[in-house]
Amino acid sequence: MRRITSALFAAVGLTAGLGQVALAADLPQRPTYVPPPVIAPAPTWTGCYVGGNIGGAFGNASVSLAGPNGNSGTVSGNNSGFAGGGQIGCDYDFGGGWVIGFRDMYDWTSNSSSGTFQSIAFPGFAANANFKNQWFDTLTARIGYAFQPAWLLYAQGGAAWVQTTTNVLVAGFQTGQTSSTRSGWTVGGGVEWMFAPHWSAFVEGNYEPGLELR
């Protein structure tokens, strides 16, 4: 009896073992883990920034002269030069493509011109007037529309200041000099490209009436 019982237990034990093997073989394989795809965040224009810029400055310079009998004359000329400096500002992206912001841009410039006229104080001598625009500063608000997520088309306007000097020379000697800071307004626009996260480049133009060198 003991041997039969032992055989029975052995058979049960073996059957259970086979059953476990068969069950293990029927189990599905463990799924291979596939990480979810990384989706880059959509570009946003919200944030503050600092940067630099280079370009050109173009304008008109003039000086008005009073004669001994109330006569007056004006010497003027077009001028152009290099401009370069920096800017700082902040933008807010409302979503749906609309962006508003403000910016202050400060540039030095080599913008200058000169003109020749007959000297009133020294008859018979020609006088030269030299005009120079030393720097300009614009504080503007802007509104733009991102027609593509990384491309912003914008318009802007605000206040402008310019520092100018005028030198008058007669026969090579300086006979007068003025220096002043003028204020006015500016309006313009441009396009900006966000070519990488936190990096962008822009091209723009601005018109500043009433800030000619005088």
Q: Could you tell me if residue 35 is inside a domain?
A: no
Question: Can you point out the beta strands (E) in 14-150?
Answer: 47-66, 72-95, 98-109, 112-118, 126-148
Contact criterion met (CB below 8 Å) for 100 and 94: yes
Say which amino acid occupies 190.
Answer: G
- pTM as predicted: 0.70
Residue 112 lies in a domain: yes
Residue type, 189: G
Residue 7 inside a domain? The answer is no
22, containing H or E segment: helix 2-26
- Asked, for residue 100, whether it belongs to a domain, the answer is yes
- Element containing residue 176 per DSSP (H, E): strand 173-196
CA–CA dist 131, 152 (Å, integer): 37
pLDDT tens for the chain, 214 residues: list them. 333 233 333 333 333 333 444 444 555 666 676 677 666 667 799 999 999 999 998 876 666 655 555 444 566 666 788 999 999 999 999 989 999 999 999 999 988 777 676 666 666 677 777 778 889 999 999 999 999 999 999 999 999 999 888 777 776 666 677 778 889 999 999 999 999 988 999 999 999 875 554 4
Domain that residue 87 falls in: 47-207
Which CATH number covers residue 69?
2.40.160
Tokens (6 digits) for 74: 């004006």
Number of compact structural domains in the chain: 1
Does some domain include residue 19?
no
Residue 23: inside a domain: no
